[in-house]
Amino acid sequence: MARGRKRKAGPRTKSGRLSTAGIPRIDRGNDRAAQMQAIYGTNGSDAIGRCFERGLMGSGQDAKAMLDTGRAIHRAYWAHYANGPVRCSLADRNGASVAEDSERERRQELWLRDMLRIAGDGGHTVRVLFDQLIVDINPDQGPDWLDRLIARKPMSTDWACLACALDTLADCAGVERLTAQRSA
């Protein structure tokens, strides 16, 4: 009588291992995922990345600094306000000393508060537009005004929404940004 796991069905190699011939190693997803990868590369998984890849943030080091700052704000926001700091399930820390860890978390939270204060200084509408571009999770599409700009079918207020969100992000990143007035 055999013991252990049942043998998996399928063709075998000479050594007896299950053959992987004919089995694709990397699943690239569906056609839409392949199209998004072709258009945006690795920056298609968030709104700020799609905005960056389409050149709506400008170009050069200032645009890259805004992209990096936006992503850092997004990560810090969800780490601190949605989930809390990342902890080990077996202990009250993640391998570093508790004093160093809590000090780092405190500095990061203070930085995040400063960034959100800068975003909120413009008023409620500015903060909502900033949140739609930076904080909200938009893996495939959204916000609507950005999708219309990317599709080159903007409504009359879409350029203003983008300029407002990017001006706020530029303030957070410490980047000088000249807002271009565009009409749709």
Could you tell me if residue 178 is inside a domain?
no
In whole angstroms, give the CA distance from residue 165 to residue 99: 37
Mean pLDDT of 98-125: 89
pLDDT band at 100 (very low <50, low <70, confident <90, very high): low
- Which of 38-42, 46-50, 82-86 shows the lowest mean pLDDT across its residues? 82-86
What is the phi/psi pair of residue 24, to 5°?
A: -65, 135
Q: Is residue 92 part of a domain?
A: no
Rounded to an integer, what distance in angstroms lies between the CA atom of residue 143 and that of residue 135?
11
- Looking at every residue in the chain, the average pLDDT score rounds to 87
CA distance 144 to 146: 5
DSSP string, 97-123: -HHHHHHHHHHHHHHHHHHHHHHHTT-
What does the longest C-alpha to C-alpha distance in the chain come to?
80
| Residue of 109 and 102 predicted with greater confidence | 109
Q: What is the pTM of this model?
A: 0.77
Sign of the dihedral through C-alpha 112, 144, 171, 46 = positive
138 within domain boundaries: yes
Q: What is the pLDDT of residues 54-91, one digit of tens each?
A: 999 998 999 999 999 999 999 999 988 876 655 666 65
pLDDT band at 99 (very low <50, low <70, confident <90, very high): low
17 lies in a domain?
A: no
Domain count, the chain: 1
Assigned domain for 16 exists: no
d(CA 140, CA 19): 36
Residue 180 placed within a domain: no
3-class SS of residue 18: strand
Residue 9 domain flag: no
pLDDT given at position 146: 97
Range of the domain at 77: 32-84+105-173
Q: Which residues contact 87 (CB under 8 A, 6 or more apart)?
A: 93, 94
Does the residue 26 lie in any domain?
no
